[in-house]
């Protein structure tokens, strides 16, 4: 039945979404709501300020910097310089799993560190307290690295976290201390924080350890944060096919691995939005090409592995990759064949992240489900339309405030892993090096693309489309479920996962099947609400007495 | 080991807080505002604040938590956030049509010196607030106090900005809820009904953050104290503030503005705090205590008598918020248990004094610290030095409980990994009985788990 569902006219939907807004707001929002055409990709307004009061999904720069990019590395002591809340809310809430090799290994992820700024620190400055805090962290833990994260008031009162970090680093000698100016007001979303984090990690960590890494096929995994164990599954597959993972940015990673990452021969990028800067900078400085991959979805995983095989161009590796795909495929097939009849023809909406709303469309496609509408929370136009739009993107005041590092080839360490001719040959084979085609090419014609979806728009979309599943985050979860529609959280996976690789695909198929076909959705109405007057109280004939 | 770097040796810290037993003001203000019917909380600051607060409250309640933000960017931070707030007010009334917008500040807007009173007045002068609608505010700088302070400030703001005295007293009493769960607020209303008094309870998050599944998302759920009720609070005969930190400031504000006399009581957690609550109502309203309540009490005492052997002398570590852990500590002492270590991140001399007094009288050897660096890291270190049989606190306690292999009861805010707190109260005699049941289950499950085969008991 569902397969024959009538898809509403997207142009009309667009009008409905904006008609309640004040004129100025409507005009602005209209540019972020577009009707897709995979042949001629329309322009999507993205990475612009959110309208105050509209109820956005977005968070702040600090969340993108500390929460997303730096948080998952287990052996950095991350001190948040600011009032207590910022550190508290980012404490273990992102499910970055990590597995220290031994009981002795450093792991600070379960800890929350803060300078807990008080009024006097705001009035008289907080640098002194920050330095005391850094010293105390050093004395207590003797970590390899301490990172400092500035919260909103820090930038305003003028605390120089970078100077404090330099001073303490010099003082300790054996501990790398560095700061991030990731005040929440910078940029327009988490995205600014990703960029700031990339800059800091590149400046202060990458390239510090020149020990040649072992292995024949060495790569870094960029933009994989090991939510629910995603990186573990990718590591499992890499090990099986004989690929050496030098560093992951940054799920299940360590300081040492990141410092040594420039010894790899390829960067593969998962979350394009949060980490593409790193790919570009490492390419310029060290000559390591990057390639967009997607390990979300069984077919996407196989495709990504083949791309890696092609890049290294080694026949043995390619054969090994085929063997592993062949070995993993049957268990995936067995599950999807059983589930597909129950999910086929259903519809999904994805409004999340800066890459996930794209990646997860592959899994829904494998489930026979159509993505009728999708959008990102904090992406840029290139994540929608592909990187070829980059030169056309206007740099506005909010983006201008985010530092763009001037990177040049390292005089000693620059070593192009592929010659121009080799890169050209790879391109001819269909390998997109240093490129990403974005989400919209993959979406069907007339599907709806909405950037920075507001709460109001989400309720309207659900009302109009009545999707079988909605994907977003924790703030949206119970709102949508109150409407009788299951919501899959794609930040936290509803505490499940992994969803990457072959095992992850199986997990996802099962979870979506469970969610869309759960008996509870049919139990929402009480029996007396669906019959008679809707209130019950009609006496049954056999109980009628005088 | 999850907290593998926590050593036994306690060193004094002055700059670094590790594993805080508190969070910041605005989330408390947001929670309080949700207890007003038809109210949309609004966070005047960067987007992240609002997102974090909504996320944390959502994880705690597994319910929709609606709130808006002024979405500060660098420009607003430099030139002031007035334009953002005015724009937000326009958007919110046009799109979400609340009866009330309750604005709270953040560390950002406080640092730049935005004056919420002035901005909301401007909104009103500019005709941005539709007839019959309200924009109220509370100043909640994150660098002062804790989430409890923010709750307290918003509740006081609600009282000041709504209460009116008409000169004619109404036969009703205000009960100002300290930070407690919707289930607790529902129980307060039930107890008042059984006691036969009319009350205005505020804030009241019952039927807001425990809303039923109906297949519809109701943006402004049926619960929450109404504007009418809030206005009438100025004509009430008296106020009972439950919690000297989170509720008393609102009672003081009401007394100042509308001359409503008040009494401050503890949140009725445990036997004796509930006794004081019931006696408080009885005295303030001159009502007799119905047998139903006496019987409720009797059931709680009955279990305390019958199960004393499992409780007596058991050592407990606890952390949480002042108005909750003060009566909880008293309850533990009434149960014959030993509160060995107590921390609360919320600073304040009033609480410090109250807790010290209780401990000096009944448990002088207890380790207690509140305020700066009174964090879970310190509590954990204390536990390593002087082990306990039970840990009580919010969800973050589970890491310590697992590492030290001790039974753990979730109590306080936030509880991110279990349900129940929204639905089953911890207050009053029956709520305390539920809390006691949890304590007993934790201890007795542990005895069962650890008993040698020959010592394994059928009847306990």
Q: Tell me the pLDDT tens digit for each residue of A277-306.
A: 999 999 999 999 999 999 999 999 999 999
Task: Please indicate, yes or no, if residue B367 is contained in any of the structural domains.
Answer: yes
- What residues form DSSP beta bridges with A179? A148
Q: Does B143 lie in the same domain as B45?
A: yes
Q: B214–A524: do the CB atoms touch at under 8 Å?
A: yes
Residue found by looking up tokens 């899994």 in the block = A363
Q: Select from B15, B74, B92 the Cβ nearest to the Cβ of A115.
A: B15
Q: Does B148 lie in the same domain as B78?
A: yes
Name the percent of chain B lying above pLDDT 90. Answer: 100
**CB proximity A458 to B under 8 Å:** no
Residue A138: closest CA among chain B residues belongs to which residue? B16
Give the angle A339-A341-A346 at the CA atoms, nearest 5°: 95
What is d(CA B401, CA B407) in angstroms, rounded to the nearest whole number? Answer: 6
How would residue A1 be classed by pLDDT, with cut points 50, 70 and 90? very low
Q: Select from B48, B67, B76 the Cβ nearest to the Cβ of A60.
A: B48
**Within 13 A of A264's CA, how many CA atoms are on the CB side?**
26
Mean pLDDT of A97-113: 97
Q: Containing domain of residue B219, as a range?
A: 173-289
Q: Is A471 a residue of the active site?
A: no
Residue A75: closest CA among chain B residues belongs to which residue? B5
Q: A110–B42: do the CB atoms touch at under 8 Å?
A: no
> Beta-strand (E) ranges in B144-294?
173-176, 199-202, 238-242, 262-265
| Tokens standing for residue A513 | 């099947």
What is d(CA B29, CA B412) in angstroms, rounded to the nearest whole number? Answer: 17
Strand order in the sheet with A113-114: A176-180, A145-150, A76-81, A113-114, B17-18
What is d(CA A167, CA B417) in angstroms, rounded to the nearest whole number? Answer: 41
Residue A124: closest CA among chain B residues belongs to which residue? B111
Q: What is the pLDDT of residue B343?
A: 98
CB contacts of B96 in chain A (<8 Å) are 55, 456
* pLDDT for residue A199 is more than 90: yes
How would residue A26 be classed by pLDDT, with cut points 50, 70 and 90? very high
How would residue A546 be classed by pLDDT, with cut points 50, 70 and 90? low
**CB proximity A483 to B under 8 Å:** yes
**CB proximity A214 to B under 8 Å:** no
**CB proximity A407 to B under 8 Å:** no
Q: Does B188 lie in the same domain as B265?
A: yes
Domain boundary among B243, B269, B289: B289
Q: Does B330 lie in the same domain as B236?
A: no
Among A467, A466, A487, residue whose Cα is nearest residue A476: A487
Among A515, A525, A523, residue whose Cα is nearest residue A469: A515
B383 membership: H or E segment, kind and range: helix B376-385
Strand order in the sheet with B390-393: B367-370, B338-344, B315-319, B390-393, B408-410
Cis amide leading into A372 (omega within 30): no
* pLDDT for residue B387 is more than 50: yes
CB contacts of B54 in chain A (<8 Å) are 475
Q: Does B188 lie in the same domain as B56?
A: no
The average confidence (pLDDT) of chain A is 96
Q: Does B180 lie in the same domain as B152?
A: no
Task: Please indicate, yes or no, if residue B217 is contained in any of the structural domains.
Answer: yes
Task: Please indicate, yes or no, if residue B17 is contained in any of the structural domains.
Answer: no
B278, B242 in Cβ contact below 8 A?
no
What's the first-to-final CA gap in chain A, in angstroms?
49
Q: Select from B23, B59, B62 the Cβ nearest to the Cβ of A84.
A: B23
* pLDDT for residue A2 is more than 60: no
Q: Is A262 a residue of the active site?
A: no
* pLDDT for residue A4 is more than 60: no
Among B394, B57, B48, B70, residue whose Cα is nearest residue A68: B48
Q: What contacts A172, CB < 8 A, 6 or more positions away?
A: A138
A31-40, A328-337, A432-441, A535-544, range with the lowest pLDDT: A535-544
Q: How far apart are the CA of B342 and the nearest CA of chain A, in angstroms?
A: 19
How would residue B158 be classed by pLDDT, with cut points 50, 70 and 90? very high
Q: Does B329 lie in the same domain as B271?
A: no
Q: Does B320 lie in the same domain as B409?
A: yes
Q: Is A455 a residue of the active site?
A: no
Overall residue count recorded for chain A in this entry: 546
Q: Does B195 lie in the same domain as B138?
A: no
A193, A61 in Cβ contact below 8 A?
yes
Q: What contacts B86, CB < 8 A, 6 or more positions away?
A: B119, B122, B123, B126, B128
Give, to the nearest 10 degrees, the angle between helix A315-343 and helix A501-516. 10
Number of domains forming the structure of chain B: 3
What is d(CA B440, CA B435) in angstroms, rounded to the nearest whole number? Answer: 9
For residue B46, the domain's CATH number is: 3.40.50.1980
Q: What is the pLDDT of residue A300?
A: 97
Q: What is the pLDDT of residue A136?
A: 98
Q: Does B213 lie in the same domain as B196?
A: yes
Residue B150: closest CA among chain A residues belongs to which residue? A85
* Percent helix, strand and coil across chain A, each to the nearest 5: 45, 15, 40
**pLDDT digits 0-9 by tens, B292-324:** 999 999 999 999 999 999 999 999 999 999 999
ipTM: 0.98
For chain A, which residues make up each domain, given as ranges?
61-204
What is d(CA A469, CA A460) in angstroms, rounded to the nearest whole number? Answer: 15
Q: What contacts B343, CB < 8 A, 6 or more positions away?
A: B21, B319, B368, B369, B370, B374, B375, B376, B378, B379
Name the percent of chain A lying above pLDDT 90. Answer: 95
Count CB atoms within 10 A of the CB of residue B154. Answer: 32
How would residue A401 be classed by pLDDT, with cut points 50, 70 and 90? confident
Mean pLDDT of A53-60: 98
DSSP A298-351: HHHHHHHHHHHHHHHT-HHHHHHHHHHHHHHHHHHHHHHHHHHHHHTT-EEEEE
Mean pLDDT of B440-450: 98
Domain boundary among B139, B162, B185: B162
How would residue B162 be classed by pLDDT, with cut points 50, 70 and 90? very high
Q: How far apart are the CA of A59 and the nearest CA of chain B, in angstroms?
A: 4
Name the percent of chain B lying above pLDDT 70. Answer: 100
- What residues form DSSP beta bridges with A450? A33
**pLDDT digits 0-9 by tens, A301-360:** 999 999 999 999 999 999 999 999 999 999 999 999 999 999 999 999 999 999 999 999
Task: Please indicate, yes or no, if residue B2 is contained in any of the structural domains.
Answer: no
* pLDDT for residue A429 is more than 60: yes
How would residue B174 be classed by pLDDT, with cut points 50, 70 and 90? very high
Range A61-204: architecture per CATH: 3-Layer(aba) Sandwich (3.40)
Q: Is A112 a residue of the active site?
A: no
* pLDDT for residue A540 is more than 90: no
Q: What is the pLDDT of residue A7?
A: 78
Q: What is the pLDDT of residue A541?
A: 81
* pLDDT for residue A484 is more than 90: yes
How would residue A5 be classed by pLDDT, with cut points 50, 70 and 90? low
- What residues form DSSP beta bridges with A76? A145
CB contacts of A155 in chain B (<8 Å) are 77
A392, A480 in Cβ contact below 8 A?
no
Residue found by looking up tokens 């080694």 in the block = A314
Task: Please indicate, yes or no, if residue B94 is contained in any of the structural domains.
Answer: yes
Q: What is the pLDDT of residue A308?
A: 98
Q: A153–B111: do the CB atoms touch at under 8 Å?
A: yes
Mean pLDDT of B282-296: 98
Q: Does B415 lie in the same domain as B385?
A: yes
**CB proximity A518 to B under 8 Å:** no
Among A119, A122, A115, residue whose Cα is nearest residue A179: A115
Domain boundary among B109, B131, B162: B162
Among B259, B403, B203, residue whose Cα is nearest residue B317: B403
CB contacts of B395 in chain A (<8 Å) are none
> β-strand A290-292 against A266-269: which pairing, if any?
parallel
CB contacts of B16 in chain A (<8 Å) are 79, 113-115, 132-133, 136-137, 140
Mean pLDDT of A197-215: 97
Q: How far apart are the CA of B326 and the nearest CA of chain A, in angstroms?
A: 23
CB contacts of B19 in chain A (<8 Å) are 91, 111-112
The average confidence (pLDDT) of chain B is 98
Task: Please indicate, yes or no, if residue B14 is contained in any of the structural domains.
Answer: no
CB contacts of B94 in chain A (<8 Å) are 20-22, 25
Q: Does B150 lie in the same domain as B88?
A: yes
Mean pLDDT of B97-125: 98
């Amino acid at each position: 039945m569902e397969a024959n569902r009538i898809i509403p006219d997207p142009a009309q939907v667009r009008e409905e979404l904006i008609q309640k807004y004040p004129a100025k707001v409507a005009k602005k929002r209209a540019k972020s709501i577009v009707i897709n055409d995979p042949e001629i990709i329309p322009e999507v307004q993205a990475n612009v300020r959110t309208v105050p009061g509209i109820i956005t999904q977005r968070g702040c720069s600090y969340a993108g910097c500390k929460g997303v990019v730096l948080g998952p590395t287990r052996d950095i002591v991350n001190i948040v310089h600011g009032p207590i809340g910022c550190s508290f809310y980012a404490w273990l809430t992102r499910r970055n799993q990590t597995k220290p090799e031994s009981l002795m290994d450093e792991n600070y992820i379960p800890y929350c560190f803060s300078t807990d700024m008080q009024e006097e620190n705001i009035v008289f400055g907080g640098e002194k307290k920050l330095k005391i805090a850094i010293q105390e962290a050093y004395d207590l833990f003797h970590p390899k690295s301490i990172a400092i994260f500035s919260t909103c008031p820090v930038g305003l009162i003028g605390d120089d976290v970078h100077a404090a970090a330099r001073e303490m680093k010099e003082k300790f000698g054996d501990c790398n201390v560095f700061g991030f100016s990731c005040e929440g007001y910078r940029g327009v979303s988490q995205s600014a924080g990703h960029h700031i984090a990339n800059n800091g990690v590149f400046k202060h960590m990458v390239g510090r350890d020149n020990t040649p890494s072992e292995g024949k096929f060495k790569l870094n995994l960029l933009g994989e944060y090991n939510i629910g164990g995603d990186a573990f599954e990718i590591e499992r597959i890499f090990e099986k096919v004989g690929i050496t993972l030098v560093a992951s940015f940054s799920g299940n990673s360590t300081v040492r691995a990141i410092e040594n990452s420039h010894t790899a021969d390829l960067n593969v990028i998962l979350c394009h939005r949060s980490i593409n800067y790193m790919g570009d900078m490492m390419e310029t400085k060290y000559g390591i090409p990057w390639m967009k991959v997607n390990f979300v979805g069984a077919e996407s995983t196989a495709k990504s592995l083949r791309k890696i095989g092609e890049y290294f161009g080694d026949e043995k590796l390619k054969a090994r990759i085929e063997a592993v795909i062949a070995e993993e495929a049957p268990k995936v097939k067995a599950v999807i064949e059983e589930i597909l009849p129950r999910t086929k023809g259903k519809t999904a909406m994805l409004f999340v992240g800066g890459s996930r709303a794209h990646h997860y469309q592959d899994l829904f496609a494998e489930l026979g489900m159509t993505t009728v509408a999708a959008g990102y929370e904090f992406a840029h136009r290139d994540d929608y339309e592909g990187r070829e739009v980059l030169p056309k993107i206007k740099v506005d005041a909010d983006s201008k405030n985010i530092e763009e590092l001037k990177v040049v080839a390292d005089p000693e360490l620059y070593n192009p892993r592929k010659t121009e001719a080799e890169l050209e040959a790879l391109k001819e084979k269909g390998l997109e090096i240093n490129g990403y085609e974005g989400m919209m090419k993959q979406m069907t014609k007339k599907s709806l693309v909405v950037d920075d979806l507001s709460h109001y728009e989400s309720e309207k979309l659900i009302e109009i489309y009545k999707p079988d599943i909605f994907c977003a985050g924790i703030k949206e979860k119970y709102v949508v479920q109150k409407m009788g529609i299951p919501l899959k959280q794609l930040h936290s996976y509803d505490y499940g996962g992994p969803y990457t690789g072959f095992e992850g695909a199986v997990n996802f198929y099962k979870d979506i099947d469970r969610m869309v076909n759960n008996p509870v959705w049919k139990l929402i109405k009480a029996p007396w609400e669906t019959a008679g007057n809707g209130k019950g109280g009609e006496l049954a004939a056999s109980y009628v007495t005088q | 080991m999850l907290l593998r770097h926590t050593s036994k040796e306690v060193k004094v810290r002055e700059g670094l807080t590790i594993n805080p037993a508190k969070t910041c003001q605005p989330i408390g203000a947001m929670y309080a505002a949700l207890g007003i019917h038809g109210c949309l909380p609004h966070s005047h600051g960067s987007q992240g604040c609002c997102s974090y607060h909504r996320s944390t409250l959502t994880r705690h309640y597994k319910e929709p938590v609606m709130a808006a933000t002024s979405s500060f960017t660098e420009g607003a931070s430099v030139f002031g956030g007035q334009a953002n707030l005015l724009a937000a007010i326009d958007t919110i009334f046009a799109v979400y049509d609340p009866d009330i917008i309750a604005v709270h500040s953040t560390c950002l807007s406080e640092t730049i010196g935005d004056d919420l009173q002035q901005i909301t007045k401007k909104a009103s002068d500019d005709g941005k607030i539709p007839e019959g609608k309200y924009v109220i505010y509370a100043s909640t700088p994150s660098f002062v106090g804790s989430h409890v302070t923010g709750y307290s400030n918003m509740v006081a703001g609600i009282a000041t900005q709504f209460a009116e005295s008409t000169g004619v007293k109404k036969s009703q009493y205000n009960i100002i809820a300290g930070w407690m769960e919707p289930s607790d607020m529902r129980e307060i209303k039930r107890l008042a009904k059984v006691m036969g008094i009319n009350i205005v309870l505020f804030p009241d998050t019952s039927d807001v953050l425990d809303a039923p599944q109906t297949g519809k998302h109701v943006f402004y759920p049926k619960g929450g104290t109404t504007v009418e009720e809030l206005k009438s609070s100025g004509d009430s005969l008296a106020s009972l503030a439950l919690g000297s930190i989170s509720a008393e400031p609102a009672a003081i504000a009401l007394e100042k503005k509308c001359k409503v006399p008040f009494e401050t009581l503890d949140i009725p957690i445990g036997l004796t705090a509930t006794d004081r609550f019931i006696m408080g109502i009885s005295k303030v309203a001159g009502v007799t205590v119905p047998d139903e309540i006496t019987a409720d009490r009797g059931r709680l005492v009955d279990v305390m008598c019958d199960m004393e052997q499992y409780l007596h002398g058991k050592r407990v570590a606890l952390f949480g918020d002042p108005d909750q852990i003060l009566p909880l500590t008293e309850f533990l002492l009434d149960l014959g248990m030993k509160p060995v270590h107590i921390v609360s991140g919320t600073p304040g001399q009033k609480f410090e004094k109250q807790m010290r007094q209780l401990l000096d009288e009944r448990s002088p050897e207890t380790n207690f610290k509140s305020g700066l660096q009174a964090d879970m890291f310190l509590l954990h270190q204390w536990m390593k030095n002087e082990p306990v049989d039970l840990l009580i606190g919010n969800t973050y306690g589970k890491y310590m409980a697992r590492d030290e292999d001790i039974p753990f009861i979730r109590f306080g805010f936030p509880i991110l990994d279990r349900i129940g707190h929204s639905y089953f109260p911890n207050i009053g005699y029956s709520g305390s009985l539920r809390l006691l049941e949890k304590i007993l289950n934790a201890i007795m499950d542990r005895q069962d788990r650890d008993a040698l085969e020959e010592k394994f008991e059928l009847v306990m």
